[in-house]
Structure 1
Amino acid sequence: MARYLLSQSCKFRFFHAHKSSQRLSRRRCCGFTDLTPNVTHDRQNQRFTITLNCDGTVRCAVLKYTVRHDQRLELLSTEVPQSHRGKGVAAHLAKAALDFIVEENLKVRISCWYIRKYVNENPHLGYQAYIEDE
């Protein structure tokens, strides 16, 4: 299992690209600090996760993917606990997964509405070149 931490330059690009000023704040809520995500890539279980601690209760936000028969990835879904929605958690997962695809020079199919929305809202990050349409 590998850890995927955003570099300072990635954090700068990511946060200055966001349209929502709420996501730019440095607030801390239930163990999650917007500017310091710790996204874990679990290749064996084919998922990216962020562990969230809310008053002693540990929950995970998860982005699931699968490797298709043609060795291309398919991003299936993002799941964020209700208490952490709207705080940029899913955006961190989407960015980590898409950066992995770029770094590995893979092709991807997107089945998750949120990830498709993230790609469309951030065209300057260049993810479109790696996405294949059906």
Structure 2
Amino acid sequence: MELSVRDNEAEHRFELVADGQQAGLAAYRVRDGRTVITHSEVDPAHRGKGLGGELARLTLDTLRDRGARVVVSCPFFVRYVEQHHDWDAILEDA
């Protein structure tokens, strides 16, 4: 499965694309120069394939590559970063 994430700035969300179809999203807002991840979801047709974790990984990788400071308030992303510490350097408390 080919996966990518694109930043839909107009809608304030990162969109997970799986084999050319949108499979999930991570909504965000920018506040005080920080990107706050507020909500995420995977389309029901794509659940059970580990795509939530891929959405989190690709979104956080993109933000790290941009040099962004990130706050996670989405419960899924909170659990994800508690279990995966690759992005500790970019994370901030709310």
TM range (shorter): 0.7 to 0.9
Q: Is 2:14 the counterpart of 1:48?
A: yes
Tell me what 2:27 maps to.
64
Tell me the percent identity.
Answer: 29
Q: Is 2:30 the counterpart of 1:38?
A: no
Query: Which structure is higher in strand share?
Result: 2
Distance across 2 between alignment mates of 1:59 and 1:133: 30
Gaps of 5+ in 2: none
Aligned-pair distance for 1:64?
0.7
Aligned-pair distance for 1:59?
5.6
- Which stretches of structure 1, 4 residues or longer, exceed 3 Å deviation after superposition? none
Tell me what 1:79 maps to.
41
| Contact kept in structure 2, 1:60 and 1:80, CA below 8 Å | yes
Q: Is 2:64 the counterpart of 1:102?
A: yes
Larger radius of gyration, structure 1 or 2? 1
TM-score (norm 2): 0.82
Give a deviation string over 1:47-87, Cα, whole Å, max 9, x none: 1112458xxxx66411111111x121100111112232221
Q: More relative contact order in 1 or in 2 (CA 8 Å, sep 6+)?
A: 2
Tell me what 1:128 maps to.
88
Gaps of 5+ in 1: 1-32
How many equivalent pairs are there?
A: 93
CA-based RMSD:
1.9
Q: 1:117 aligns with which of 51, 58, 79?
A: 79
TM-score (norm 1): 0.60
